Copies of this chain bind each other. A is one copy, B any other.
């Protein structure tokens, strides 16, 4: 479909260490409407579902300051300029946050965290046969605890409101799309 918005002006409003906020003033040519859009600029992110040979998922629990609560998530973070690829970034984040290393890191999918207000993408991976090889090396402001859960318990952790992060929930749908049945959901028609 034809784009009918013309950028009139772009202004940086605030720069922070984690993202920048800018304002795009655009003209909707069809209706001659001028509108301001507020956009967060950030690099691309990675998320990774690490599974052990026994079929457990390695989760991380971390204080999230947007909600001011602990949040149960999968490992992930910002792709660094030094990362040779999103896959390498996922393996690095996994190792840093948990001390685990996987035999194989497979791409599950790519999504937009919030296409209305952010331009960046999140690359989601599955890391299979993950084994503990080191101690975690956290950033000073990260207070991460490692939680191991059977893959089949993930649906109940989501239903119970223990896992609430949209990017993490999305990662598990990607897993189910790639490997139907992975989450062990019971289906009425199977009886």
Contacts and interface: CB of A to CB of B under 8 A. Distances in A.
Interface of A: 1, 3-5, 13-14, 16-19, 21, 23-24, 26, 28, 30-31, 33, 35-40, 61, 63-71, 109-119, 121-122, 140-141, 143, 145, 155, 158-159, 161, 164-167, 169-170, 172-174, 176-177, 180-181, 185-190
A164 B1 CA distance: 17
A63 to B, nearest CB: 6
Contact of A112 (B23, B65, B165): B165
Given A112-B164, A117-B18, A119-B68, A176 B185 contact: yes
Contact of A40 (B17, B66, B170): B66
B140 A31 contact: yes
A111 B168 CA distance: 10
Given A33-B141, A164-B112, A185-B176, A38 B67 contact: no
A182 B174 CA distance: 15
Contact of A38 (B19, B33, B187): B19
What 3 A-B pairs are tightest by C-beta distance, nearest first? A64-B115, A173-B173, A180-B185
